[in-house]
Amino acid sequence: MPESSSTPASLPPLTAQAQRLIELGVHELSGMSADELRAFAEEAGGTDSDTLLAVHPDRAPASALAPLLRRDDKPGFVVVDMPDVDRFAPVAPLALPDAPLYLVTGLDRGDHMSNWSPDEALPALTEEDRTPLLLSEGIHWVLQQPAILERNRCFMTIGSRLRKENGALDTRTPAIWISNGTGRDGRERRNAPKVGWCWWGNRHTWLGFASATGRRP
């Protein structure tokens, strides 16, 4: 197990991130114009390379973003037993800016928490003054920096939780990793980016806990 977290390379400048989202059509699925997206990136600081540009999940849900992921020319996908993926939402104390676009700062993949359970990782992140990433933020990160998703170095996004009708939190927690092409994934999806889930109390040696230091409009 590594002693500290690892975050490969730097993110592209915000203006380049905006252009990437435009090329993928994210502005259209989120009901914005390309000019709106470009203007936001320019005003936010177009040369900043340590900040992620994110679209609010109400505008661009995980189910729409996941197929835009690519690895070995294979599109990303959501596992078949997660049809409710878009119902996973931020949970307190995590709060998103009330805006269609926002910035996520201080990203970390959380390698040092590999083989921890979400139940163990969350209080540790809180102690470090960090908040876990949302699933949609994790997908945005991989869209902009595909190298962040490595075999045996993938990550969970436990900022997104599903609250059941009785008020309790669902024990599934979202994660992004690389398919082995087994089971219901299908052999044709081997090496494809995969959005799936793990149990709140389970540990996985190949999953860290992605987090950030802040979010701002």
- List, for residues 152-180, the tens digit of each pLDDT value: 999 999 999 999 999 999 999 999 999 99
Task: State the amino acid at position 149 in one-letter form.
Answer: L
DSSP string across 115-127: T--HHHHHHHHHH
Within 8 A by CB and 6+ apart from 198, the residues are: 118, 156, 172, 173, 175, 204, 207
Residue 114 sits at the vertex; the CA angle it makes with 109 and 118, to the nearest 5 degrees, is: 85
Residue 154 burial by Cβ neighbours in a 10 Å radius (0-12, 13-18, 19+): buried
- CA–CA distance, 90 with 190 (Å, rounded to integer): 30
Q: Give the pTM.
A: 0.94
Lowest mean pLDDT among 92-96, 104-108, 134-138: 92-96
User: Which pLDDT score, from 0 to 100, does residue 47 have?
Assistant: 53
**How many other C-beta atoms can be found within 10 angstroms of the C-beta atom of residue 23?**
11
